[in-house]
Amino acid sequence: MKLYLSQHDDSTEKEDSSSGNNLEFIMADRTKDSRSSEFGDFIPLNNNNVADKMDQTQASGAVASETEIIERNRLRNIVIAVSSFAFAIINYCWQLTHPVTALEILVAMEKQSAPLTSIGNNGKPTVIDFWAPWCSNCKVAATTLQAVEKQYGDKVNFIMVNGDDGRNWPLIQLFGVDAIPHLALLSDEGDVETALIGPMSRNVLRADLDALLTKREGCGEVTPVCHEELPYKMYDAFGSRESRRINFQR
Protein backbone atom coordinates (compact mmCIF):
# COMPACT_ATOMS: atom_id res chain seq x y z
CA MET A 1 0.00 0.00 0.00
CA LYS A 2 2.75 2.32 0.83
CA LEU A 3 4.63 1.32 -2.25
CA TYR A 4 1.67 2.11 -4.44
CA LEU A 5 1.23 5.49 -2.89
CA SER A 6 4.89 6.19 -3.37
CA GLN A 7 4.73 5.25 -6.99
CA HIS A 8 1.62 7.26 -7.42
CA ASP A 9 3.24 10.19 -5.80
CA ASP A 10 6.24 9.80 -8.00
CA SER A 11 4.11 9.69 -11.13
CA THR A 12 2.12 12.55 -9.84
CA GLU A 13 5.24 14.47 -9.16
CA LYS A 14 6.54 13.59 -12.59
CA GLU A 15 3.31 14.75 -14.19
CA ASP A 16 3.37 17.86 -12.10
CA SER A 17 6.97 18.34 -13.05
CA SER A 18 6.15 17.77 -16.71
CA SER A 19 3.22 20.16 -16.52
CA GLY A 20 5.44 22.67 -14.84
CA ASN A 21 7.99 22.30 -17.58
CA ASN A 22 5.32 22.76 -20.24
CA LEU A 23 4.00 25.82 -18.47
CA GLU A 24 7.47 27.23 -18.24
CA PHE A 25 8.00 26.53 -21.95
CA ILE A 26 4.74 28.26 -22.89
CA MET A 27 5.54 31.20 -20.65
CA ALA A 28 8.99 31.40 -22.17
CA ASP A 29 7.48 31.46 -25.66
CA ARG A 30 5.07 34.19 -24.68
CA THR A 31 7.89 36.12 -23.07
CA LYS A 32 9.85 35.75 -26.29
CA ASP A 33 6.86 37.03 -28.28
CA SER A 34 6.55 40.01 -26.00
CA ARG A 35 10.15 40.99 -26.66
CA SER A 36 11.08 43.19 -29.57
CA SER A 37 11.32 41.24 -32.81
CA GLU A 38 14.64 40.18 -34.12
CA PHE A 39 15.85 39.41 -37.62
CA GLY A 40 14.27 36.17 -38.81
CA ASP A 41 11.32 36.27 -36.39
CA PHE A 42 7.84 35.74 -37.79
CA ILE A 43 5.48 38.57 -36.89
CA PRO A 44 1.81 38.13 -37.78
CA LEU A 45 0.15 41.20 -39.37
CA ASN A 46 -3.21 42.57 -38.41
CA ASN A 47 -4.87 43.07 -41.87
CA ASN A 48 -7.67 45.21 -40.49
CA ASN A 49 -5.31 47.76 -38.98
CA VAL A 50 -3.27 47.94 -42.19
CA ALA A 51 -6.39 48.50 -44.31
CA ASP A 52 -7.59 51.22 -41.96
CA LYS A 53 -4.24 52.98 -42.16
CA MET A 54 -4.27 52.77 -45.96
CA ASP A 55 -7.79 54.21 -46.12
CA GLN A 56 -6.79 57.05 -43.84
CA THR A 57 -3.71 57.74 -45.94
CA GLN A 58 -5.74 57.78 -49.16
CA ALA A 59 -8.41 60.01 -47.61
CA SER A 60 -5.84 62.48 -46.32
CA GLY A 61 -4.15 62.43 -49.75
CA ALA A 62 -7.45 63.14 -51.52
CA VAL A 63 -8.20 66.06 -49.18
CA ALA A 64 -4.70 67.45 -49.72
CA SER A 65 -5.04 67.08 -53.49
CA GLU A 66 -8.41 68.86 -53.54
CA THR A 67 -6.98 71.65 -51.39
CA GLU A 68 -4.05 72.05 -53.76
CA ILE A 69 -6.39 72.27 -56.78
CA ILE A 70 -8.51 74.95 -55.08
CA GLU A 71 -5.41 76.90 -54.16
CA ARG A 72 -4.02 76.69 -57.71
CA ASN A 73 -7.35 77.86 -59.19
CA ARG A 74 -7.47 80.75 -56.74
CA LEU A 75 -3.96 81.84 -57.65
CA ARG A 76 -4.74 81.50 -61.37
CA ASN A 77 -7.84 83.68 -61.02
CA ILE A 78 -5.86 86.29 -59.13
CA VAL A 79 -3.17 86.33 -61.84
CA ILE A 80 -5.81 86.67 -64.60
CA ALA A 81 -7.57 89.51 -62.77
CA VAL A 82 -4.34 91.40 -62.11
CA SER A 83 -3.16 90.87 -65.71
CA SER A 84 -6.47 92.10 -67.15
CA PHE A 85 -6.40 95.20 -64.95
CA ALA A 86 -2.79 95.91 -65.89
CA PHE A 87 -3.58 95.46 -69.60
CA ALA A 88 -6.52 97.88 -69.33
CA ILE A 89 -4.31 100.48 -67.66
CA ILE A 90 -1.58 100.06 -70.28
CA ASN A 91 -4.12 100.29 -73.11
CA TYR A 92 -5.65 103.43 -71.63
CA CYS A 93 -2.25 105.06 -71.20
CA TRP A 94 -1.31 104.13 -74.77
CA GLN A 95 -4.48 105.63 -76.21
CA LEU A 96 -4.01 108.71 -74.04
CA THR A 97 -0.46 109.26 -75.28
CA HIS A 98 -1.11 108.02 -78.86
CA PRO A 99 -4.55 109.31 -79.86
CA VAL A 100 -6.00 108.13 -83.17
CA THR A 101 -6.01 111.06 -85.59
CA ALA A 102 -8.91 111.98 -87.85
CA LEU A 103 -6.81 111.17 -90.90
CA GLU A 104 -6.16 107.66 -89.56
CA ILE A 105 -9.92 107.21 -89.09
CA LEU A 106 -10.61 108.24 -92.70
CA VAL A 107 -7.87 105.97 -94.06
CA ALA A 108 -9.13 103.02 -92.01
CA MET A 109 -12.71 103.60 -93.19
CA GLU A 110 -11.52 103.72 -96.80
CA LYS A 111 -9.82 100.34 -96.40
CA GLN A 112 -13.07 98.88 -95.04
CA SER A 113 -15.30 100.49 -97.67
CA ALA A 114 -17.96 98.49 -99.46
CA PRO A 115 -17.23 97.89 -103.16
CA LEU A 116 -18.83 100.14 -105.79
CA THR A 117 -20.62 97.11 -107.20
CA SER A 118 -22.73 96.97 -104.03
CA ILE A 119 -24.58 100.17 -105.06
CA GLY A 120 -28.13 99.21 -106.04
CA ASN A 121 -27.29 95.48 -105.98
CA ASN A 122 -27.45 94.31 -102.37
CA GLY A 123 -30.71 95.93 -101.22
CA LYS A 124 -29.02 98.54 -99.02
CA PRO A 125 -28.88 102.35 -99.26
CA THR A 126 -25.42 103.80 -99.84
CA VAL A 127 -23.39 106.69 -98.43
CA ILE A 128 -20.43 107.83 -100.57
CA ASP A 129 -18.03 110.18 -98.80
CA PHE A 130 -15.67 112.16 -101.04
CA TRP A 131 -12.72 113.39 -98.98
CA ALA A 132 -9.01 114.30 -99.16
CA PRO A 133 -6.13 114.13 -96.65
CA TRP A 134 -5.63 117.93 -96.76
CA CYS A 135 -9.34 118.70 -96.17
CA SER A 136 -9.86 120.22 -92.70
CA ASN A 137 -13.65 119.82 -92.73
CA CYS A 138 -13.24 116.16 -93.73
CA LYS A 139 -11.17 115.60 -90.61
CA VAL A 140 -13.75 117.42 -88.49
CA ALA A 141 -16.50 115.11 -89.83
CA ALA A 142 -14.43 111.92 -89.46
CA THR A 143 -15.58 110.95 -85.97
CA THR A 144 -19.24 111.66 -86.81
CA LEU A 145 -19.09 109.53 -89.92
CA GLN A 146 -17.32 106.76 -88.04
CA ALA A 147 -20.00 106.72 -85.32
CA VAL A 148 -22.81 106.60 -87.89
CA GLU A 149 -21.07 103.78 -89.75
CA LYS A 150 -20.83 101.73 -86.55
CA GLN A 151 -24.57 102.24 -85.97
CA TYR A 152 -25.78 101.57 -89.54
CA GLY A 153 -22.95 99.47 -90.94
CA ASP A 154 -25.03 96.30 -91.27
CA LYS A 155 -27.88 98.12 -93.05
CA VAL A 156 -26.12 100.75 -95.18
CA ASN A 157 -23.18 100.65 -97.61
CA PHE A 158 -20.41 103.10 -96.67
CA ILE A 159 -17.93 103.96 -99.43
CA MET A 160 -14.98 106.32 -98.96
CA VAL A 161 -13.46 108.01 -102.04
CA ASN A 162 -10.12 109.82 -101.75
CA GLY A 163 -10.21 112.81 -104.07
CA ASP A 164 -6.40 112.94 -104.23
CA ASP A 165 -6.26 109.52 -105.86
CA GLY A 166 -6.21 110.02 -109.63
CA ARG A 167 -8.02 106.72 -110.17
CA ASN A 168 -11.11 108.27 -108.57
CA TRP A 169 -11.46 111.23 -110.94
CA PRO A 170 -14.06 109.52 -113.18
CA LEU A 171 -16.18 108.86 -110.10
CA ILE A 172 -15.78 112.46 -108.91
CA GLN A 173 -16.97 113.75 -112.30
CA LEU A 174 -19.89 111.30 -112.37
CA PHE A 175 -21.22 112.61 -109.04
CA GLY A 176 -20.53 116.26 -109.86
CA VAL A 177 -18.27 116.78 -106.84
CA ASP A 178 -16.95 120.35 -106.69
CA ALA A 179 -16.48 120.69 -102.91
CA ILE A 180 -15.57 118.33 -100.10
CA PRO A 181 -16.60 116.77 -97.84
CA HIS A 182 -19.34 115.61 -100.18
CA LEU A 183 -21.75 112.94 -98.90
CA ALA A 184 -23.82 111.41 -101.68
CA LEU A 185 -26.89 109.52 -100.43
CA LEU A 186 -28.28 106.77 -102.65
CA SER A 187 -31.38 104.60 -102.26
CA ASP A 188 -31.22 100.82 -102.17
CA GLU A 189 -32.16 100.85 -105.88
CA GLY A 190 -29.07 102.99 -106.63
CA ASP A 191 -30.81 106.34 -107.16
CA VAL A 192 -28.87 109.43 -106.07
CA GLU A 193 -31.24 111.30 -103.75
CA THR A 194 -29.13 114.21 -102.53
CA ALA A 195 -25.66 115.31 -101.47
CA LEU A 196 -24.75 116.83 -98.10
CA ILE A 197 -21.87 119.29 -98.41
CA GLY A 198 -19.58 120.19 -95.53
CA PRO A 199 -19.46 118.77 -92.00
CA MET A 200 -22.84 117.33 -91.03
CA SER A 201 -24.21 116.68 -87.58
CA ARG A 202 -24.89 113.13 -86.56
CA ASN A 203 -28.63 113.77 -86.21
CA VAL A 204 -28.95 115.10 -89.76
CA LEU A 205 -27.22 112.11 -91.28
CA ARG A 206 -29.21 109.69 -89.12
CA ALA A 207 -32.51 111.28 -90.12
CA ASP A 208 -31.76 110.93 -93.84
CA LEU A 209 -30.59 107.33 -93.43
CA ASP A 210 -33.71 106.43 -91.44
CA ALA A 211 -35.82 107.84 -94.28
CA LEU A 212 -33.89 105.78 -96.85
CA LEU A 213 -34.44 102.65 -94.74
CA THR A 214 -38.19 103.23 -94.27
CA LYS A 215 -40.19 101.59 -97.05
CA ARG A 216 -43.41 103.09 -98.36
CA GLU A 217 -46.52 101.03 -98.90
CA GLY A 218 -47.44 100.36 -102.52
CA CYS A 219 -43.91 100.92 -103.73
CA GLY A 220 -43.64 100.52 -107.49
CA GLU A 221 -47.40 100.75 -108.05
CA VAL A 222 -48.33 104.23 -106.87
CA THR A 223 -44.89 105.85 -106.76
CA PRO A 224 -41.47 104.82 -108.05
CA VAL A 225 -39.82 106.11 -104.85
CA CYS A 226 -39.85 103.29 -102.31
CA HIS A 227 -38.58 105.18 -99.27
CA GLU A 228 -39.74 108.08 -97.15
CA GLU A 229 -38.90 111.62 -98.19
CA LEU A 230 -35.49 112.73 -96.93
CA PRO A 231 -35.88 115.48 -94.29
CA TYR A 232 -32.56 117.09 -95.19
CA LYS A 233 -31.52 117.81 -98.80
CA MET A 234 -28.80 120.09 -100.09
CA TYR A 235 -27.04 119.72 -103.41
CA ASP A 236 -28.75 117.86 -106.26
CA ALA A 237 -26.15 117.09 -108.91
CA PHE A 238 -28.59 114.82 -110.77
CA GLY A 239 -31.53 117.21 -110.95
CA SER A 240 -31.06 117.94 -114.67
CA ARG A 241 -30.11 114.42 -115.69
CA GLU A 242 -32.40 111.91 -117.31
CA SER A 243 -31.73 109.26 -114.67
CA ARG A 244 -30.57 109.34 -111.09
CA ARG A 245 -29.72 105.68 -111.03
CA ILE A 246 -26.14 104.52 -110.63
CA ASN A 247 -25.21 100.92 -111.17
CA PHE A 248 -21.77 99.36 -111.42
CA GLN A 249 -21.77 95.94 -113.02
CA ARG A 250 -20.30 93.15 -110.94
pLDDT reading at 162 higher than 60: yes
pLDDT reading at 155 higher than 80: yes
Average pLDDT over residues 66-78: 84
- In terms of domains, do 122 and 209 share one? yes
pLDDT of 77 reads: 83
Residue range 8-65, pLDDT digits in tens: 444 444 444 444 444 444 444 444 444 455 545 555 545 555 555 556 666 566 666 7
Residue range 101-143, pLDDT digits in tens: 899 999 999 999 999 999 999 999 999 999 999 999 999 999 9
Number of domains in the chain: 2
- In terms of domains, do 93 and 107 share one? no
If phi > 0 it is left, if psi is from -120 to 50 it is alpha, else beta; for residue 228 that is: beta
- In terms of domains, do 196 and 131 share one? yes
Find the CATH number of the domain harbouring 148: 3.40.30.10
pLDDT of 87 reads: 78
Provide the domain limits for residue 49.
43-99
Domain end (from 59, 77, 99)? 99
How high does pLDDT run on average in the chain? 79
